[in-house]
Amino acid sequence: MDIPNLRWWGWGTLDRFFSLENRPHFWPTLRSWLGLPDELVERPPVPLESISLRPTRLDDPVLASLRRLLGDEAVRLDARARIEHACGKAYRDLVRVRAGIVPNPPDAVVYPADEGQVAALIAWAADRDIIVIPFGGGSTVLGAVEPPPDDRPAISLDLARLDRVVFLDPVSRTARIQAGATGPEVESQLNARGFTLGHFPQSFEFSTLGGWIATRAAGQTSTGYGKIEHMTQAVRLVTPVGILETCDTPATATGPGLLEFFIGSEGTCGVITEATMRIWPWPVVQDYRGFLFHRLEDGIAALRDLMQHGPRPTIARLSDSEETAGFAVMAHAHSGLRAILDRAVDRYLTWQGHSLTGGSCFLLLGYDGKPEEVRPLWRRATAICRDHRGLPLGRSVGESWKRDRFAHPYLRDTLLGVGVMVDTLETATTWSNLLNVYGAMTAAIRAAIRETGGGPGYVMTHISHIYPWGGSLYTTFLGRQVPGEEIEQWWAVKRAATEAILAAGGTLSHHHGIGRDHAPWLEQFVGPVGRATLRAVKFTLDPTGIMNPGVLLQEEQPQDE
């Protein structure tokens, strides 16, 4: 029922990693950027068997009734299952679990077989005041699956057994899919019928449909296929007060849309068990190419032109000069003829006034579809990029990106192991405000890294998702960890970045959700009336507060007498 060979202490599976072999510039450049010592001491995660967990707070009679409800095999109390479900994959999560610190493990992990068992479990938990935390792939980076520090027992409800495409309507181009299906499970079943969902987040291999919907996720090709809220036509939600199903039609005018309350609800109202998704024919070609721009402003102007006048791309990712340099220093060293070609390319770029490590900005642009459809799109897109002084780099860089697109999270584990603070955050704003938010956010992060003892730090950003009206900024920041203060240091950087984003007019989250980490700022973003509205919906569907408390909506603090 679980992914075999899973890294309980990091990303993905133990048989995979991001290879730094034959990348001679990576470590010397990283040492220079971050002020790291010449000799890096690797600190591996503690052994699983050395982690001491709090005993389960479910007594024998309660456990017996739970096993009668779901079956013995569907209820797990072993340390590995509880540790794997105790947190997500945020920086704070991994720092703690690598050190063997698991302060709030679930008291049991359960695997219902179908929606009926989900409904029975929630009713069972509500009767006993037991917290229920829906769990998909556990890839959250905002603390959305960790049990709260609560006196009540908590159960992690893993949806791994609900993994099927239940029904596919090729005429309407919709598919009803169970919420526990991972990205590969969704795509393999749809691809067999000639379709795709078109949703490929970086967590694709390990995240689930229910998790995508619950966090309002965006995939790497969202510019062409849409974010998850554009793909979701209807959902079924099991709540403590009953099952709620939204209207399965392409549009409706029956008052405010209930669907909007549940896309992004992060398990706080109930458990998404199924959804009707809008699907697309599988593209014959995925033609992804690269361009270089002299300035970030030129690349932004090209993207805005493409989105407002066409042709709208399937994928567009514009890296600032820092991220472009980051990609360059991870390049493989070649020998023989390939090395000669590499030197020739470098001379050509220099002749064109470009430098991969000296200020140029890389754009990945792509179109999906049939060859006869894609060719004219590329002629127009290339002309627009050239109009903004973009230099075409061809398809090879696009193919290289596709090969590594899901591998980069593995590099974080390597960096954490040698004392590097590394995390990501994202926001979105209008075209007219994009550079303002970008400047304010990156300046705040750099200052916070220095002020917390992280050295000079390194901050790199790309525009990850674009619309006719604006775009999303996705930032990665790195610094030296302060031993013994890793989480306090990270939180200071996170807080500075979030406050700078909100002050500059950016959104609190574009595609990662809210979780626990962003909950303190939710009221600032939606206002007190907005927060009260969300709380009223939660209370209506979850009157005893058993569904993922503290996520999205921060718990009310008790008032002094």
Position 420 in a domain: no
The string of pLDDT tens digits covering residues 198-209 is: 999 999 999 999
Domain that holds residue 216: 165-281
Confidence of residue 181 (pLDDT cuts 50, 70, 90): very high
Residues 217 and 309 in one domain: no
Would you say 200 and 183 are in contact if contact means Cβ atoms under 8 Å apart? yes
Q: Output the pLDDT for position 118.
A: 98
User: Six-digit token pair at 412?
Assistant: 């974080």
Query: Is a pLDDT exceeding 50 seen at residue 558?
Result: no
Residues 143 and 187 in one domain: no
Residues 171 and 248 in one domain: yes
Average per-residue pLDDT for the chain: 95
Single out the residue in 281, 307, 328 at which a domain terminates: 281
Residues 311 and 336 in one domain: yes
CATH number (domain holding residue 95):
3.30.43.10
Query: Is a pLDDT exceeding 90 seen at residue 180?
Result: yes
Q: Output the pLDDT for position 2.
A: 64
Position 14 in a domain: no
Confidence of residue 390 (pLDDT cuts 50, 70, 90): very high
Give the pLDDT mean for 155-178: 98
Question: Count of domains in the chain?
Answer: 3
Query: Is a pLDDT exceeding 50 seen at residue 559?
Result: no
Position 538 in a domain: no
Q: Which residues contact 328 (CB under 8 A, 6 or more apart)?
A: 25, 356, 357
Q: Output the pLDDT for position 560.
A: 38
Query: Is a pLDDT exceeding 70 seen at residue 402?
Result: yes
The string of pLDDT tens digits covering residues 285-315 is: 999 999 999 999 999 999 999 999 999 999 9
Q: Output the pLDDT for position 4.
A: 77
Q: Output the pLDDT for position 421.
A: 98
Position 370 in a domain: yes
Confidence of residue 344 (pLDDT cuts 50, 70, 90): confident
Query: Is a pLDDT exceeding 60 seen at residue 359?
Result: yes
Position 551 in a domain: no
Confidence of residue 338 (pLDDT cuts 50, 70, 90): confident
Confidence of residue 337 (pLDDT cuts 50, 70, 90): confident
Give the pLDDT mean for 114-134: 98
Confidence of residue 538 (pLDDT cuts 50, 70, 90): very high
Give the pLDDT mean for 150-164: 97
Single out the residue in 381, 404, 427 at which a domain terminates: 404
Single out the residue in 158, 193, 223 at which a domain terminates: 158
Position 242 in a domain: yes
Alpha-carbon distance 215 to 145, whole Å?
A: 12
E-assigned strand segments in 79-130: 108-110
Residues 291 and 355 in one domain: yes
Confidence of residue 339 (pLDDT cuts 50, 70, 90): confident
Position 541 in a domain: no
Residues 293 and 274 in one domain: no
Would you say 147 and 115 are in contact if contact means Cβ atoms under 8 Å apart? no
Residues 232 and 340 in one domain: no
Q: Which residues contact 171 (CB under 8 A, 6 or more apart)?
A: none
Position 306 in a domain: yes
Confidence of residue 532 (pLDDT cuts 50, 70, 90): very high
Alpha-carbon distance 425 to 486, whole Å?
A: 17
Residues 277 and 292 in one domain: no
Q: Is the dihedral of CA 323, 327, 330, 333 positive or negative?
A: negative
CATH number (domain holding residue 264):
3.30.465.10
Residues 350 and 362 in one domain: yes
The DSSP 8-state label assigned to residue 406 in this structure reads T
Confidence of residue 556 (pLDDT cuts 50, 70, 90): low
Confidence of residue 561 (pLDDT cuts 50, 70, 90): very low
Residues 105 and 134 in one domain: yes
CATH number (domain holding residue 349):
3.30.70.3450
Residue 277: which region, alpha, beta or left (left: phi > 0; alpha: psi -120 to 50)? beta
Q: Output the pLDDT for position 343.
A: 83
Count the alpha carbons within 13 Å of 483 in the hemisphere toward its beta carbon. 5
Residues 238 and 294 in one domain: no
Of 39-43, 326-330, 372-376, the range with the highest mean pLDDT is 372-376
The string of pLDDT tens digits covering residues 434-479 is: 999 999 999 999 999 999 999 999 999 999 999 999 999 999 999 9
Residues 382 and 395 in one domain: yes
Alpha-carbon distance 313 to 294, whole Å?
A: 21
